[in-house]
Amino acid sequence: MLAPYSQQQVVLVVDYGAQYAQLIARRVREAGVFSEIIPHTTTAAQIIAAAPAAVVLSGGPASVYADAAPSLDAALVAAGIPIFGICYGFQALAQALGGTVSKTGDREYGRTQLNVTDSASVLFVQLPQQLSVWMSHGDAVTQAPPGFTVSATSAGAPVAAFENQERRIAGVQFHPEVMHSEHGQRVLEHFLFGIAGCEPTWSMTGVIDEQVQRIRSQVGDDMVICGLSGGVDSSVAAALVQRAIGTQLTCVFVDHGLLRAGEAEQVERDFVAATDVRLVVVDAADRFLSALAGVVDPEEKRKIIGREFIRVFEQAAREIVESADHSGKSVKYLVQGTLYPDVVESGGGTGTANIKSHHNVGGLPDDLEFDLIEPLRTLFKDEVRQVGLELGVPADIVWRHPFPGPGLAIRIVGAIDAHRLQILRAADAIVRAELTAAGVDRDVWQCPVVLLADVRSVGVQGDGRTYGHPIVLRPVSSEDAMTADWSRLPYDTLATISTRITNEVLDVNRVVLDITSKPPGTIEWE
């Protein structure tokens, strides 16, 4: 877990419960160095044994003085590994090194002026002496550890940054990973390259080569099936595995009855034409709808879908083996397009709470008959797109808006039935068509269309009273789905979408716009 790419240097991001831990990991990767998030419960011995190129300590909501506050093991500080502390991680680092953290009463939240005080600082070399940065702290470091130079201050933080070049340890009170901090990425890179001595050698090409070798070694001569949904994740995973093992791979496309309009046809037409992959299509709509009948709870929906997916794959595998002479070989492996955000949100990457179980992570049955191949498990969505382009996956698939594996089941708030699916499909098709017509597809990361199935409101259509459902538009902009902001679509486009939906989709008399960022809201409603 701690060193997924044996030939690459790895920076470990220790998560102290920060909302930005994933963003830190992304920023490190953007600098050309592979990173992985680990929980703060990981022992110093485990970290030292992993021999990381550096360790970054994230922020977090705790106070270092709280009884149950996460602490930093002195053994890690003494191990000679380069360390960079951010916010809470900065305070924990200061305390472990013998500095002083105090409750000053001078809290700083949001945009704050930072004053660089050390002209010889490596963190702030060739940067302005005053920077606008993003703070979020109550406690503050009031005295730097012995041997450390104070390199910056702010009104509420007497020690807003410190560093010791000889020990290769540094830290900042602010959040360099957020875009609100001026030159934050450069500060992080100054630590990585100027203090820690990392090299920017990580790339998508390296990921492909490493994974191809791993897959070949893992699979040998066995047969593999891939759950292909037509989305970018499963498509890129399939293309990567096919690069490794060729005709040993068979893709299985499950039409679970929860797809958007035209999706099954797109998979059979576009992806197969581009990759020449072997494809088996399974019509399982009745099976899924029967299993989901009357289910309202979104977690239960996800788990049911995950279970049924696996059972369908198992049956498909048996039929694939029985359909031709495969020299007695069985299907041993299942490929999934699991991404790092799936793992993190399902509570599997950081040691923090389970936000929602993804069907391919938290929804898998205990008696799974396959070993999993998940070549994208450590990647963010934008990195997966880069891999897809490197592999020659068609651009219209690579840049397709993300669509969840559970499909429209988690875009209907309430129980699922054929009529409600018909309503949502029609509304969704209108939204996708109008976003394309307006030329704003690339400006939007994703636009879930949600049916509030158990909500009705009074309307007037055709001079008569209606009592219909609302449709929610959820356009968001993001880099990696870990954080997101609502997309400011043109009013004319929104007006056209609303008019078309209320005119053309039966039982809908109201269209509303979700303007919530992530956090606090997730991108999908369920």
Question: How far apart are the C-alpha atoms of 75 and 61, rounded to whole Å?
Answer: 24
Residue 87 bears catalytic tag: yes
DSSP code per residue over 98-140: T-EEE--S--EEEEEEEEE--TT-STTTTS-SEEEEEEEESSE
Place of tokens 């606090």: 520
Residue in 36, 108, 163, 177 annotated catalytic: 177
User: Nearest 5°: phi and psi at 83?
Assistant: -130, 140
Which of 175, 190, 358, 359 is catalytic? The answer is: 175
Q: What is the full DSSP assignment across 340-366? A: HHHHHHTTSSSSS------TTTTT--T
| Chain centroid, CA 30 distance in Å | 15
Strand partners, 131: 114
| Contact between residue 305 and residue 405 where contact means Cβ atoms under 8 Å apart | yes
The C-alpha angle 174, 179, 183, rounded to 5 degrees, equals 70
263 noted as active-site residue: no
Length of the chain (residues):
526
Amino acid sitting at position 85: G
Paired tokens of 290: 């029967």
Residue 370 vs residues 227, 314, 317, 332: alpha-carbon distances, Å:
12, 8, 10, 5
- Residue owning tokens 């044994």: 49
Helix 204-219 / helix 232-245 crossing angle, nearest 10 deg:
60
Catalytic site residue from 36, 40, 87, 108: 87
Whether 359 is a known active-site residue: answer: no
> Which positions are catalytic?
87, 175, 177
